Amino acid sequence: MFDNRITRLFGCEIPIMQAPMGYISRAQLASAVANAGAIGMIETSSGDLEAFRREVKLAQEWAPGKCLTANIAQAFVRDPSIVDFVVEQGVRFVTTSAGDPNRYTRQLKDAGLVVFHVVPTLRAALKAVDAGVDGLVVEGAEGGGFKNPRDVATMVLLPLVASKVDVPIIAAGGFVDGATMAAAFALGAEGVQMGTRMVASAESPIHENWKQAIVDAAETGTVLLNRHAAPAVRVLRTEVSEAYEFDTGRNAMGAMADHRRVYFEGDLTAGLAFGGQVAGRIDRVRPVAEVIRECADDCLRVIADLAVRYPPSPSPSPEEPDQAATHGASTSAKVGEPSSRSS
Ligand SMILES: Cc1cc2nc3c(=O)[nH]c(=O)nc-3n(C[C@H](O)[C@H](O)[C@H](O)COP(=O)(O)O)c2cc1C
């Protein structure tokens, strides 16, 4: 279905990557995603490496031979032995995030792993490519979780980065169905990463109240906190998060102390519930296999429909004068044709 650099590199059928999310991206969710032909992910941002070892092992048992990756959230896992630790678990694909790509890329590559780095800006993307990564996860500000305080939307960031780099790109921030996946392809990506959609899935291990809060949220139902402090973070709009929204005197991470009550007891008054703007487009909790299959089918359908509705104008044969030249270049470039790299 999707023969491109992401499916070839990761050895998966469908270029959908489940996002790294602390305490959430563990064996139950990752194995369901991998068994659906996509890319499952195990997190380290909880900082619990024993849990990481256990969850990788479980996921490998539950999804034998399928595509499983790990995320090294550099701001949360400071112990440099994390690289050897990840390699020892038999993980072959890693995304690194929340830190300098020069920190682990060489070591991971020397150990034979495929390395993608998560980037929120063009500058970070160029730095990661210089560090020798195999690819990028280009993350727009509409996504849930940790964010760059200088927020750039996916619609702007993705085509910009795609026009400046040659490595394969997985787009993140706002992806939830076949149409958005097709849009990512049109903007230069070859895969998408989904966070919020996966949080509100049947296999996501968190409490139903959080999943329901995502289902109930409108597109305006998130706030980007900590623009004034690090790390900035996009969370669901609740009484707790609204209290921090315009309060630059406090660091919102202070509200994360009791995350277990939020994550596993469903008490959304006890802290922050991460979530992206795409929550406004999620209307029910669904099994990931259903989500992934439907995204894949709909994505190909959208692309096929567009090709039928907007067939590229036939390029003039050498004898005929170039219509475009006579009528001004912009017409033919309006539909379908990808922009050249250095636009
Ligand atoms: C509940 C939640 C927790 C997250 N935790 C992390 C994390 O620990 N590390 C990280 O790099 N990104 C984290 N993210 C960001 C995701 O990796 C991803 O980039 C983002 O969710 C994509 O946007 P979307 O939510 O619109 O799909 C989190 C996102 C959510 C929704």
Q: What is the pLDDT of residues 233-258, one digit of tens each?
A: 999 999 999 999 988 888 898 888 77
User: pLDDT per residue over 56-68, tens digit each?
Assistant: 999 999 999 999 9
Ligand 1 neighbour 204 (Cβ under 6 A): no
Residue 247 one-letter amino acid: D
Q: Any idea where the domains of the chain sit in the sequence? A: 5-205, 208-280
- For atom 29 of ligand 1, the residue with the nearest CA is 145
Residue to mutate, 94, 146, 268, ligand 1, most ligand atoms under 8 Å from C-beta: 146
pLDDT at 191 over 70: yes
- For atom 24 of ligand 1, the residue with the nearest CA is 143
Determine whether 57 is exposed, middle or buried from the number of CB atoms within 10 Å of its CB (0-12, 13-18, 19+): middle
| First CA to last CA distance, the chain | 30
Percent of the chain with pLDDT over 70: 93
pLDDT in the model for residue 342: 44
Q: How many residues can be counted in the chain? A: 343
pLDDT in the model for residue 31: 98
Ligand 1 neighbour 199 (Cβ under 6 A): yes
pLDDT at 325 over 70: no
pLDDT in the model for residue 13: 98
CATH architecture of the domain 5-205 equals: Alpha-Beta Barrel (3.20)
pLDDT at 331 over 60: no
The whole-model pTM stands at 0.92
d(CA 154, CA 193): 12
Ligand 1 neighbour 120 (Cβ under 6 A): no
pLDDT at 117 over 90: yes
User: pLDDT per residue over 66-82, tens digit each?
Assistant: 999 999 999 888 787 88
Residue 129 one-letter amino acid: V
Lowest mean pLDDT among 78-92, 195-209, 265-279: 78-92
Q: Distance from the CA of 334 to the center of ligand 1, in angstroms?
A: 33
pLDDT in the model for residue 335: 46
Find the mean pLDDT for residues 85-104: 94
User: pLDDT per residue over 37-61, tens digit each?
Assistant: 999 999 998 888 899 999 999 999 9
| Confidence band of 341 (pLDDT split at 50, 70, 90) | very low
The partner residues of 69 in beta bridges, in order of sequence, read 41
d(CA 304, CA 339): 20
Ligand 1 neighbour 276 (Cβ under 6 A): yes
